[in-house]
Amino acid sequence: MVHDGWLRVVRRRYRMPDGSESDWELLGGLESVSVLALTEDQEIVLVRQFRPGPDGLMLNLPGGLVDPGETPAQAAGRELTEETGYVGASVEVVAWFHPMAHGAWVKHIAIAHGCTPAGVQSLDEVEDCVPVLVTPAELRAQARAGALVGTDAVYVALDYAGLL
């Protein structure tokens, strides 16, 4: 273990295809979920919040870490409500992938249908999420403009929802 804080960094030794060995530092042990939250009017619920990597306010799908003992679907519903105050009538995990070449990290993609602002936002001390409603066309335009973080999750979610 190199670092175990907000993110976990692990060091692993790998045997390369030529037989040599190499140490790699990876973001490790993470399991997260991103939620494509659709209202009855087919608007998409995003969050606008400060993101430290780009050092500014960015849009992204609601989501976060899957807590121990929690399924990705449970985490999707919880994170949607915590970050936006919206509740989905149904939440389904449709895909998963490895979002980084240098990470032992799995990201799940969930689609929530019938989302309404029926819950209460419950933000962590480092979250400043503001819910934003966009159309699928607006979301695609934001992705093309580089105004999002998590564009990989947006693409996969839109594809599974038939909204590309």
User: How high is the pLDDT of residue 102?
Assistant: 85
pLDDT at 36 over 80: yes
Q: Which domains does the chain have, with CATH numbers?
A: 30-160 (3.90.79.10)
User: How high is the pLDDT of residue 1?
Assistant: 77
The model's pLDDT over 40-56, given as tens digits with 9 standing for 90+, comes to 999 999 999 999 999 99
User: How high is the pLDDT of residue 51?
Assistant: 92
User: How high is the pLDDT of residue 113?
Assistant: 98
User: How high is the pLDDT of residue 2?
Assistant: 84
User: How high is the pLDDT of residue 70?
Assistant: 97
Where residue 100 falls (left for φ over 0; alpha for ψ -120 to 50; beta otherwise) is beta
Q: How confident is the model at residue 84 (pLDDT cuts 50, 70, 90)?
A: very high
- The whole-model pTM stands at 0.91
pLDDT at 23 over 90: yes
Looking at residues 84-112, what average pLDDT do you find? 95
Quote the CA–CA distance of 95 and 10 in Å, as a whole number: 25
Where do we find the tokens 């670092």?
3
| Pairs from 142-148 (Cβ < 8 Å, separation ≥ 24) | 142/59, 147/58, 147/59, 148/58, 148/59, 148/60
Q: Tell me the residue length of the chain.
A: 164
pLDDT at 91 over 90: yes
The model's pLDDT over 54-77, given as tens digits with 9 standing for 90+, comes to 999 999 999 999 999 999 999 999
Looking at residues 4-11, what average pLDDT do you find? 82
